[in-house]
Chain A
Amino acid sequence: MSTTTTAVLVLLLPFLGAIAGLLTGRRAPGFARPLAVLPTLAAAVLAVVVAWRQGGGGDAAIDAATRLTPTGSVPIDLALHLDGFAVLLAVLVGTVATCVQLYSTAYLRDDPRYPSYAALVSLFTSAMLLVVYSGDLMVLLVGWEIMGICSYFLVGHYWETEAARAASLKAFLVTKLGDVPFLIGIFALAADAGTFRINGILTTAVSGGIDHPTLVALLLLAGVAGKSAQFPLHTWLPDAMAGPTPVSALIHAATMVAAGVYVVARLLPVFAASTAALVVLAVMAAVTMVGSALAALAQDDIKRVLAYSTVGQLGYMTGALAVGDRGAAVFHLISHGAFKALLFLCAGVIIHAAGTNSLAAMARMSGLAKRIPDAYWTMTAGLLALAAIPPFSGFFSKEAVLGAAEHAAQGNGHGIPAAAGWTVLVAGLVTALLTAGYATRLWLLAFHGKGAEAAGHGREPLAMNGVLWVLFLPTVAFGLAAWKLPAWFDGGSLTPTLTTSVLSTGCALAGVIVMYAAWRKTVVATARAPLGAVAADPEAAPAVSEIEAIATHEQAYGGIAAACDPGDPSRLLLGPLHRHAVSGFHLDAVYAALFVRPVRGAARLAHFLDREVVETYVRGAGAAPGLLGAAVRRAQTGNVQTYLSALLAGSVVLAVAAVLVATGA
């Protein structure tokens, strides 16, 4: 089997699994689990084979294309482009998807909609792999949009809860808002390059053949911001946490949100052609990083903390792209994908064990760490990776980003503005501090609560705990790849440099210490203010606890993101900023004022016009013949003589008219 065939199989297996799952899900639910797990597992194995064959940078990228049918203008090819980035990312997608599918078999074990859920996850996996492998922008867009719709369905999986319905619509609309400019940008690129093939576009971009690089880059950036949850289109991601935890792990941490970053990485020469686009990218990354880190500090929902941290880590990746180092960006993308998936899956276990998704409630619960030792240890490793403490993988990948930023800031970047480098470097260091802070807060509140024993429940199933340990491995060890990866990527060094290592590790340690001190100070208040609503269902599937936690969070704590917990250390640290951080700096309110209210006003206007103006015509159109009919009905006296009189009078008139016409009078 050639490498190309294997790659096609990687794409097709989850797709076929999804189709089979959707077809048989209702009639033969017993097949749902094997149909969900096996194709994804096979795809993951084959993705490793493809990566092995592609061989790590030594060989050139593999390109294969078939043209299905002439389109008349710019041709569309079914093209594969297998380079180091693509094959490694495919391995990540396959691995995480397999882990998530395995985890879901236990997590959603009693869910009646499990077959369709699993099929959608498979379809999603296939679409993401299509985006990764595709060598043609149109084909890439197909995968991109399938991911969007799958995300909509999966976020709304708990559609019985109001939050999930709203979140799925919001996710769909906000990402679509970005996709429209993205589509226009693709057309603009293809019009200039004469092809949708990425290779052709890149050749054109390098030779300066694109007429308006800034405009095109900004259009593409809108789509990327929507998909990768970058400021200002990031607001859907925290709300999307109303979906099942495995979905959050797969889609909203490891893969889909990474698609935007990956597309920028593939099209980096297009962005590099415009200094302005790079500066915009850098500013966007900086605002996203710092803002999301501050928001993550204040969140009460454990999954929303992780969601904001995802936004922030994606900010690092866009920052790396803004300084022109896609190797660093994809390195961080892969390591982050692994440890963030681990963190989310751990969060699922914690929510099940604690019976709540509120950190405030967990802080009043002791012994949680002892009940779920697997989740405790793996999550600790994941948080250390998130906080970029050496020697975990997050440290190395983040160092690669900061190193690239420093490289650019000193003016060594080729065609990269130093301002972009400084912006990313400073924001990255500040964010490192904040990230360490919220990681510590999460760990302390979740595992070191003081108060009553956590509600008892049985051991988590092996499918869930085993997956955690599988993902634990790359979390701990993937950093070593920093010495190996340049051969797969562009060749730039990814190893840590001394200055940034010391600076960022120092920042991270400072964050940890400050947060720990604040926690020691506020933990006293925790005991004094009883708070929390726990929905423990030890016997039911973990998903049940999660649904109940999502459904009751707003009633119990007064907000989807907030809890009025005086024992929260972030309250002490953020001070008056806490209130704004909880609501994501009121961006949703701004959107409501800017878009929602005008649209509602327009809808009311349209409603009014329809009801009062258009309907008047409609009613008139009905009433006028009605009146006419009533008038005609009066003529229907039933008296034959009247009819005959009218008939003959008409005949006389006609005859006279005919005579007059005939005589020409």
Chain B
Amino acid sequence: MTGTGSGTGIATAVLAANPHAHGFLSPTGVEIAFLLVGIVTLGAAVVSVTTRQLVHAALWLVVALGGLAVEYLLLTAEFIAWVQVLIYVGSVVVLLLFGLMLTKAPIGRSPDADSGNRWAALAVAAAAAASLVWVVVDAFRATWIDLDGAPQGTTEVTGEILFRHWVLPFEALSVLLLAALVGAIVLSRRKNEEH
């Protein structure tokens, strides 16, 4: 992912000083790839929250999360991309599918997948999207990410920073995970099994 196409091999300082060297009308290859994958991801996410088939929703979630992993790769965050694939696609979605099965979710179209709150939810989400997009676009209209140079998210880099600067939170996280594990067991254990 270090090869970022042609024409943008200029120093960062110059880029910062002359943002007009870039433009929406002259996108780089990475940008085009990011855009396409982003559209796929967003579309999968939208389908995932709107489909009436519950199991399909979980599968569309896989597409969306996978698309995000690709975006991470495009952003040179290599390690995170693989972690994303491993944890989300590999375990979380599987867990969700198990959950669906265990709660006897209907296979096939269920007409009442959406609650009566749907239109209010749509309004809130649209308003939030409009305001967020407006603010983000307004704020970062002329900001560019320099993806040249040393990749910032290789396993090596990530491992170094994680075990050099973030050891303590990392260990604390392990305790949290343990607590969650114990909690999940306690919650899902049937009480009358003891007797």
Contacts and interface: CB of A to CB of B under 8 A. Distances in A.
Given A655-B131, A656-B131, A659-B135, A639 B124 contact: no
A645 B131 contact: no
25 contacts: A639-B115, A639-B117, A641-B115, A641-B117, A641-B121, A642-B117, A642-B120, A645-B117, A645-B120, A645-B121, A645-B124, A648-B124, A648-B128, A649-B120, A649-B123, A649-B124, A649-B127, A652-B124, A652-B127, A652-B128, A652-B131, A655-B131, A656-B131, A659-B131, A659-B135
Contacts of B115: 639, 641
A648 B131 CA distance: 13
Contacts of A652: 124, 127-128, 131
A648 B122 CA distance: 12
A216 to B, nearest CB: 82
Interface in B115-174: 115, 117, 120-121, 123-124, 127-128, 131, 135
Given A639-B115, A649-B120, A652-B124, 4 more contacts: A641-B115, A645-B124, A649-B123, A649-B124
Interface in A612-663: 639, 641-642, 645, 648-649, 652, 655-656, 659
Contact residues of B: prevailing secondary structure: helix
Interface residues of B, number: 10
B112 to A, nearest CB: 14
Contacts of A639: 115, 117
Interface residues of A, number: 10
Between B124, B127, B128, the greatest number of chain A beta carbons within 10 A of the residue's beta carbon is seen for: B124
B114 to A, nearest CB: 10
Nearest to B135: A659
Interface of A: 639, 641-642, 645, 648-649, 652, 655-656, 659
B29 to A, nearest CB: 34
Nearest to B120: A645
Contacts, number: 25
B113 to A, nearest CB: 13
Interface string B74-88: 000000000000000
Contacts of B128: 648, 652
A201 to B, nearest CB: 86
Nearest first, the 9 A-B pairs at minimum CB distance are: A641-B117, A645-B120, A649-B124, A652-B128, A652-B127, A656-B131, A648-B124, A645-B124, A642-B117
A659 B135 CA distance: 8
B118 to A, nearest CB: 10
Contacts of A641: 115, 117, 121
Contacts of A656: 131
A482 to B, nearest CB: 108
A655 B127 CA distance: 11
A464 B15 CA distance: 127
A649 B124 CA distance: 6
A656 B128 CA distance: 9
A319 B126 CA distance: 101
B184 to A, nearest CB: 21
A145 B124 CA distance: 77
A656 B126 CA distance: 13
Contacts of B135: 659
Contacts of A655: 131
Contacts of B121: 641, 645
A399 B117 CA distance: 107
A91 B120 CA distance: 97
Nearest to A645: B120
A528 B128 CA distance: 109
A498 to B, nearest CB: 116
Contacts of B127: 649, 652
Contacts of B124: 645, 648-649, 652
A536 B131 CA distance: 101
A649 to B, nearest CB: 5
A27 B128 CA distance: 83
Contacts of B123: 649
A79 B128 CA distance: 88
A155 to B, nearest CB: 77
A659 B124 CA distance: 18
A651 to B, nearest CB: 8
B126 to A, nearest CB: 10
B103 to A, nearest CB: 17
A642 B135 CA distance: 26
Nearest to B115: A641
Nearest to A653: B127
A641 B115 CA distance: 9
A652 B127 CA distance: 7
Contacts of B131: 652, 655-656, 659
A638 to B, nearest CB: 12
A641 B120 CA distance: 10
Contacts of B117: 639, 641-642, 645
A542 to B, nearest CB: 88
A649 B121 CA distance: 9
Nearest to A655: B131
Nearest to A642: B117
B117 to A, nearest CB: 5
A659 B127 CA distance: 14
Interface in B61-92: none
A652 B123 CA distance: 11
Nearest to B126: A652
A659 B139 CA distance: 11
A652 B133 CA distance: 12
A200 to B, nearest CB: 87
Nearest to B116: A639
A29 B61 CA distance: 97
B124 to A, nearest CB: 5
Contacts of A645: 117, 120-121, 124
A662 to B, nearest CB: 10
A596 to B, nearest CB: 68
Contacts of B120: 642, 645, 649
B142 to A, nearest CB: 16
A649 B131 CA distance: 12
Contacts of A649: 120, 123-124, 127
Nearest to B128: A652
A637 to B, nearest CB: 10
A611 B121 CA distance: 50
A642 B128 CA distance: 16
Nearest to A640: B117
A315 B123 CA distance: 95
A641 B114 CA distance: 11
A652 B131 CA distance: 8
A656 B134 CA distance: 10
A644 B42 CA distance: 23
Nearest to A649: B124
A645 B128 CA distance: 11
